[in-house]
Structure 1
Amino acid sequence: MNHLYAIAVGSNRPHGRHGRPPGVVAAAIAELDAKFGLFDASPIMLNRATGGAGRDFANAVTLVESDLEPPQMLAVLQAIERQFGRRSGRRWGARVLDLDIAAWSGGRFASRRLTIPHARLAGRAFVLVPLTAVAPGWRLVGPLSARHLAARLAHRRPCR
């Protein structure tokens, strides 16, 4: 059975081969396309860093189709991150590539290592805004879609 996944893609460190963060995000989108067959991808957006990340981010959201269940999808995404040079480090630190499962067609999923959708997704414009470009009607929190959650955030604070 195939599932549709919304994968959040982010970078705030340059890569030796792919260049600055927007180039890293574009290369990661190409890698996801090669591994899964890309269904759609949002435009790449530039966003201010949050927490202690320091550097501004390039972000996008892709939609990919796969027969993998969420734990296996997470393992593949982490392998791609390592392939791009991501190393374990401090939380909220600079990273070459960050791939997160924002949502999947199976609804909610929770385990010790993974929660879908992410518990703080409703407050993350850097994921919601690109998600609205590719799947505005995707229901994330009860009856609330990506579009609804992004609009709520836009009323609270302006997005860049």
Structure 2
Amino acid sequence: MYVRSSSSMELYPAILAAGIKALIYSGDADMVVNFMGTQRWISTEGLGLKVTDKWRAWFGPDKQLAGYLEEYAGGLTFKTVKGAGHMVPAVRPLHALYMFECFAFGHDACNNFTYPRNSAECLTGEDLDACLGDGSDTVDLPRPAKHVNWSLYGILIVLVGIAVAMLTKLRLDYRKKQYAML
């Protein structure tokens, strides 16, 4: 009968002391193991590692903001992946692949690799045109025209106004009935 898994916490000091690089990552929308808990486990309340390179943004091959990273003594790198939950590679496959390959082969090597384009991963970044592109190897999301958005807002405002007017009339009718009963 399963009771619990053994902790691998005691293995990390030996791994880092042997000079083996380590990558720990968390999706920034992970509701199972949030990235703040992971960061605390690495630094203050767990391994007690010192920060060697403070928080900074990292970008994917599509020039989109992919998350943030922090580096610790002993060769440990902690990265967050923007918009990903507990299953990072399933939700952000392009950024996960890029993160793994850059870690394994180094940034110089992974910057020479060719990656597929996927506009579904476009959230924000320094080159928004990279998400629009020519449509090759992408699944482009439809973009509604700007006037359609304003039309929808106008319709919403009218509907809210009608609802408020109807509720006000119902309330006044109810009060008149209450007054008539007295």
Which one has the bigger strand percentage?
Answer: 1
* TM-score past 0.5 threshold: no
Q: Higher relative CO (CA 8 A, sep ≥ 6), structure 1 or 2?
A: 1
TM range (shorter): 0.3 to 0.5
TM-score, with length taken from structure 2: 0.30
The structure that has the greater radius of gyration is 2
